[in-house]
């Protein structure tokens, strides 16, 4: 089984431990708020995983539906949702309450979803479609194209599409980690009209040992060795945020 598919299928809790340390300065949330108005919005999060985006949007007053292909990731997201309901996880920094304390979880493939056309004000997809490049190296444009079409179908006229993908972990300058992702990012911008913003989303693990352990789990031992060599308890990372606004009818 592919390394990432194995994690998403069998190690969802460990995966959430990793991402819980991500975006230490809260830059991603700021970038999302700059990309679209969330107060009162309907948000569809595709490839939602263990709940990174829904948990990030708590406190903004939006209605969320989260969807993911991997059942184990939705089970973990449910656990994180329950923790947030119990007050174990804090509300957003601005302290605003969220009228939707919990949200529906739907198992579905982002390339073919059960959601109504035009339902969402904002459709997000974080660190999801980039995997199609690795899983389908010869036909990724076809697969990613279906995913983009689903985002566009489920967004209402005037709505916003937001895609988040990696621009490197353990690096000091943002860049696509390999040529396949570089081609995918250029395709988003040149063929589909997405506009990219780059944000720093450093991990803060608290110790070099913990950083090496979790980085080895997800990124591999070479990354873990880089963490040890540099003495990083805070591991640098960059994320691209690609935004496209759907035209109003007429």
Domain spans in the chain, listed from the N-terminal domain onward:
3-166+173-204+237-245
CA distance 247 to 113: 22
28-62 per-position pLDDT tens digit:
999 999 999 999 999 999 999 999 999 999 889 99
Task: Express the helix, strand and coil content of the chain in percent, nearest 5 each.
Answer: 40, 25, 35
- What residue spans of 63-123 are helical by DSSP H? 71-85
Going 140 to 141 to 144 to 150, the CA torsion angle's sign is: negative
- Taking CA 230 as the corner, what is the angle to CA 224 and CA 233, rounded to the nearest 5 degrees? 70
In the block, tokens 């308890």 appear at 233
CATH superfamily, domain at 3-166+173-204+237-245: Vaccinia Virus protein VP39 (3.40.50.150)
| Residues recorded for the chain | 250
57-95 per-position pLDDT tens digit:
988 999 999 999 999 999 999 999 998 887 644 444 444
150-174 per-position pLDDT tens digit:
999 999 999 999 999 999 999 999 9
Cα-Cα end-to-end distance for the chain: 47
């Amino acid at each position: 089984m592919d390394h990432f598919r194995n994690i998403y299928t069998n190690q969802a809790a460990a995966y959430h431990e990793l991402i819980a340390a991500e975006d230490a300065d809260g830059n991603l949330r700021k970038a999302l708020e700059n990309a679209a108005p969330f107060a009162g919005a309907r948000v569809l999060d595709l490839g939602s995983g263990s709940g990174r985006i829904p948990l990030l949007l708590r406190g903004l007053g939006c209605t969320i539906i989260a969807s993911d292909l991997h059942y184990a990731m939705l089970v973990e997201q449910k656990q994180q949702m329950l923790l947030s309901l119990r007050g174990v996880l804090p509300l957003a920094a601005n302290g605003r309450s969220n009228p939707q304390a919990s949200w529906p979880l739907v198992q579905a493939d982002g390339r073919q979803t059960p959601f109504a056309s035009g339902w969402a004000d904002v459709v997000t997809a974080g660190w999801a479609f980039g995997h199609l490049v690795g899983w389908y190296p010869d036909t990724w444009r076809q697969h990613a194209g279906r995913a983009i079409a689903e985002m566009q179908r489920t967004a209402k006229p005037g709505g916003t599409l937001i895609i988040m993908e990696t621009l490197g972990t353990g690096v000091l300058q943002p860049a696509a980690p390999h040529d396949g992702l570089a081609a995918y990012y250029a395709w988003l911008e040149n063929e589909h009209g997405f506009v990219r913003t780059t944000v720093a989303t450093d991990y803060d693990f608290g110790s070099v040992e913990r950083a090496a352990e979790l980085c080895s789990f997800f990124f591999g031992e070479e990354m873990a060795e880089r963490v040890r060599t540099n003495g990083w308890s805070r591991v640098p990372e960059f994320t691209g945020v690609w935004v496209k606004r759907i035209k109003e009818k007429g």
